Amino acid sequence: MSARIASIAAVLLALTASTTLAQTKDTLTIDLPGDAATLDPHLQWNTDSYTIYRNIFDNLLTRDASGEIVPQIAKSWKYLDDKTIEFQIREDVTFQDGSKLTAEDVAFSINRIIDPKLKSPQLSQFDQIEKAEATSPTTVKMTTKSPYPALLAQLVKLSIVPKAYVEKVGDQEFNLKPLGSGPYKMVNWQKGIQTELQAYDNYWRAKPPFENVVFRAVPDVSTRIADLKTGKADLIRDVPPDQTASVDGDSNSQVLSVPTERVGYMFINAEAGPTKDVRVRQAIAYAIDRDALIQSLLEGYGAPVNIVGAKPVFGYTDKVRGYPYDPEKAKELIKAAGAEGAKVEFLTSPAYNRAMVEAIQQMVNEVGLNVEISSSDQATFLKRRQGDPANAGGLALGAWSCACQDADGIIFPLFRSGSIWAKYKNETYDALVDKARTILDEDERLKLYEQAYEILREDVPGMGLYQAYALYGASKKLKWQPTANESMFVMDMGWQQ
Amino acid sequence: MLRYAVERLVQAIIAIFGVLTIVFVIMHLSGDPTLLLVPQDASAEMIAELRHQLGFDRPIWVQYLEYLGDLVHLDFGISVVQRVPAIDIVASRIPYTVMLATGAMVVAIGIGIPAGILMATKRGGWLERLLTAIVVTGQSVPTFLSGIVLIFVFGVTLRWLPTSGSGDFASLIMPSLALGAISMSTFARMTRISIIDELGKDYVRAGRARGLSLGSVVVRHVLRNASIPVITIAALEIGNLLAGAVIIETVFAWPGIGQLAIQSIQARDFLVVQVIVLLISFVYVLTSVLADFVYALVDPRIRLVR
């Protein structure tokens, strides 16, 4: 027996020794909640998919650490007129098969994603683009349907694919064997299990930091944390706030957090039910103690906001006053509206923090309403939330990010009448946000959004709760600064023994 | 015999067809994948456009007839989420499900049946009480908890086994234990009851009167007679193990059919769900037919007629 223990100890010792002796980190392993649905960057737009494929492809533009839009494949750009923009394309970029990336590939990528035949779910992000054409091997001219200020912010999400390769192998094969110009090439994709990438040595920016990267699909968060603690994974995504202590308490692990452009908000139905009365909506706004929610349920990983929008977003303003936590005032308003004991349905799904839903239910009940929670799966939730106002419930939580860092991507879809999310109509508001999406003057746009946010404050068709933080668990040796748009570029990561 | 086989086959086809239709209708009535596919800021027109492109705006009976038409040609369709043939997606998961089901079956039968025999023959002793405690625990601890406890103890604290994954044999041990525990309890209880039942019968007394020990009566005569209900349970359990490992597969990141099923249902990836439903109902029907044949082998008094 003791011999067996001794041999186990020897093996363990050997294992520890081999890891400490390693000079460089050969393979970086990242646990995500799911696998990529597609590796064709023009198809699925969900976090797991783009986290992986954006390491295989380069984008036309990107954002730097401070959130500014900066060149990537495009060297520079200029507006020829309000609807036409011309990009200069880099000349030193090659795809992973060695072929050169040209303006043709860029134009092809844009025209491919806006082609209805591709049936891309991402089309809505690019549908303002009319067409793109290569006017020289290094110049692309793009026309939009109308002046479109969010164009550059949307193009940050456009991956450049190789025209010749896609046309040769076809869309289906391209999805299974993607080829890009990014720092990593796909070597093995076990669908639903893991995706293995290998460094592309001729990458134009620099040599990628790790020779191999493996993205694993691990749906359960406790398992991801166990993987991190045992060294099976070096980086894991989506650590819930109440588990951060467990990660931080491990001597080899750390929590990496960053305030993001994502805003936690609550929808309040302004077109049906007791919340149709603006006094009831204002009462709900007074009834909610944001700081308590952030401190007790998010463990401080959140920052209170007065508007439906967070700091990294263009159009954010701190000039709009918030509703202070004032239950007495809320009770008066409910009484004035004659809504005491009125039933308000709170829609939710497993995608939302149940504890937060219940905490808000409690807070709102305390000021005299009767909140009932209706939980369903996400597809059913979306169908109701986006459907007929009478059936859309009175309240619902949301965590909104357009990954474009522009108010147009937030309060236009959420509150502009006619939009699927809006259960609210105010013509002055509509005119403001309509105008703000068709002019290019930044100061003018900022003023319009400030006015729009003022109106939302009075009408409360929804209220901002907090700026969400992205939470990652990582090995202490991983050097990485996560960004506000929640992307995970391995190229920006490093390793320190 | 042949008549019996044909009858069972017809029953099976009707059952599978019924299940497919019910699932098709429920899934389509509870929303389509379009809303889940588009980015949050998509406009109503864009969503309608994509829904049209994907064909989900057509009446449900048109979609249903088209689905059946393709099915007749063994065309299972292409997943709208992954843009890959649905049958390929499901097929790639089958080996993992079979591996896990086999592992769990080994645990369930290997522990469950001997435990059941001991509980029936050593009644009233400390051994029975211990085994009962184990069986009740196996039965009543929810798998999401037992899975996480196993990971914490053997993965994180002792570091004996990998915490997740599917790449090697070691990764199979913990999910098999966690999944097998429930079936193990069922086998143990079933075996115990059947044996106790048989022990009261005349042939046992006759055997004992001829001077055979209890042990040899059980091994030579009782086990064979007590096995009929156990085979029935085994057939059901195989079906359960192949279909019902959703939680275990999720906890251990084991890429089997169960995990795929729940993800496809959540994503409303209709065609993948339909292939899984087809596969699972087929497995259930097949195992129950097989069980009937095994009855006849074990007990010649059972005839395969109606």
Q: Given a cut of 90, is residue A38 above it in pLDDT?
A: yes
| pLDDT value at residue A13 | 43
Is B39 near chain A, with CB under 8 Å? yes
| pLDDT value at residue B291 | 80
Confidence of residue B125 (pLDDT cuts 50, 70, 90): confident
Confidence of residue A3 (pLDDT cuts 50, 70, 90): very low
| pLDDT value at residue A1 | 40
Chain A nearest CA to B128, separation (Å) = 29
Smallest Cβ distance to A419: which of B31, B44, B162?
A: B44
Interchain contact, B93 vs A402, CB within 8 Å:
no
Q: Which residues make beta-bridge pairs with A142? A: A85, A132
| pLDDT value at residue B201 | 87
**Considering only CB atoms, which chain B residues are within 8 Å of A33?**
none
Is A227 near chain B, with CB under 8 Å? yes
pLDDT per residue over B202-213, tens digit each? Answer: 888 888 888 888
Percent of chain B's residues with pLDDT above 70 = 97
Q: Which residue of A has its CA nearest to B54?
A: A119
Is B40 near chain A, with CB under 8 Å? yes
Q: Given a cut of 50, is residue A16 above it in pLDDT?
A: no
Is B82 near chain A, with CB under 8 Å? yes
Q: Given a cut of 60, is residue A2 above it in pLDDT?
A: no
Is B152 near chain A, with CB under 8 Å? yes
Interchain contact, A229 vs B156, CB within 8 Å:
yes
CB distance A209 to A200 below 8 Å: no
pLDDT per residue over A183-196, tens digit each? Answer: 999 999 999 999 99
pLDDT per residue over B232-274, tens digit each? Answer: 888 888 877 876 588 899 999 999 999 999 999 888 899 999 9
Q: Which of B179, B168, B161 is nearest to B249 (CA)?
A: B179
Q: E strand or H helix at A170, and its extent?
A: none
Is B53 near chain A, with CB under 8 Å? yes
Q: Which residue of B has its CA nearest to A12?
A: B159
Residues A62, A135, A41: CA angle, nearest 5 degrees: 35
| pLDDT value at residue B219 | 82
CA–CA distances in Å: residue A453 to residues A3, A230, A309, A431, B303: 72, 47, 9, 13, 79
Kindly give the residue spans of alpha helices, DSSP state H, lying in chain B. 2-29, 34-37, 44-54, 60-72, 86-121, 126-140, 143-150, 169-199, 202-209, 214-217, 223-243, 246-251, 257-266, 270-298
Is B213 near chain A, with CB under 8 Å? no
Q: Given a cut of 60, is residue B83 above it in pLDDT?
A: yes
**Considering only CB atoms, which chain A residues are within 8 Å of B89?**
191-192
Min mean pLDDT across A175-179, B114-118, B218-222 is at B218-222
Q: Given a cut of 80, is residue A213 above it in pLDDT?
A: yes
Smallest Cβ distance to B36: which of A191, A379, A404?
A: A379
Interchain contact, B164 vs A226, CB within 8 Å:
yes
pLDDT per residue over B41-80, tens digit each? Answer: 888 888 888 899 888 999 999 999 999 999 889 899 999 8
**Considering only CB atoms, which chain A residues are within 8 Å of B159?**
12, 230
CA–CA distances in Å: residue A84 to residues A72, A81, A439, A443: 20, 5, 13, 21
| pLDDT value at residue A497 | 80
Min mean pLDDT across A178-187, A422-431, B177-186, B288-297 is at B288-297
Confidence of residue A5 (pLDDT cuts 50, 70, 90): very low
Cβ-based neighbour number of residue B67 at 10 Å: 20
Confidence of residue B16 (pLDDT cuts 50, 70, 90): confident
Nearest-angstrom CA–CA distance, B92 and A23:
37
Confidence of residue B296 (pLDDT cuts 50, 70, 90): confident
Confidence of residue A245 (pLDDT cuts 50, 70, 90): very high
| pLDDT value at residue B240 | 77
Chain B nearest CA to A328, separation (Å) = 36
Q: Given a cut of 90, is residue A6 above it in pLDDT?
A: no
Interchain contact, A122 vs B165, CB within 8 Å:
no
Q: Which residue of B has its CA nearest to A33?
A: B253
Average pLDDT over residues A92-120: 95
| pLDDT value at residue B303 | 65
| pLDDT value at residue B1 | 66
Nearest-angstrom CA–CA distance, A53 and A183:
11
CB distance A348 to A375 below 8 Å: yes
Average pLDDT over residues A333-337: 96
**Who's near B80: CB < 8 A, 6+ residues apart?**
B33, B37, B54, B269, B270, B271
Query: Of A124, A166, A247, A414, which to mutate for an interface test with B (greatest number of B Cβ within 10 Å)?
Result: A124
CB distance A395 to A347 below 8 Å: yes
Q: Chain A, 14-53: which have a CB under 8 Å from a chain B CB?
A: 34, 37-38, 40, 43-45
Chain B nearest CA to A87, separation (Å) = 26
Residues A74, A77, A83: CA angle, nearest 5 degrees: 120
Nearest-angstrom CA–CA distance, A56 and A185:
5
Q: Which of A315, A294, A314, A316 is nearest to A306 (CA)?
A: A316
Q: Would you state the structure tokens that stand for residue B2, as one six-digit string?
A: 């042949």
**Considering only CB atoms, which chain B residues are within 8 Å of A413?**
40-43
Rounded to the nearest integer, the mean pLDDT of chain A is 92
Average pLDDT over residues B141-159: 90
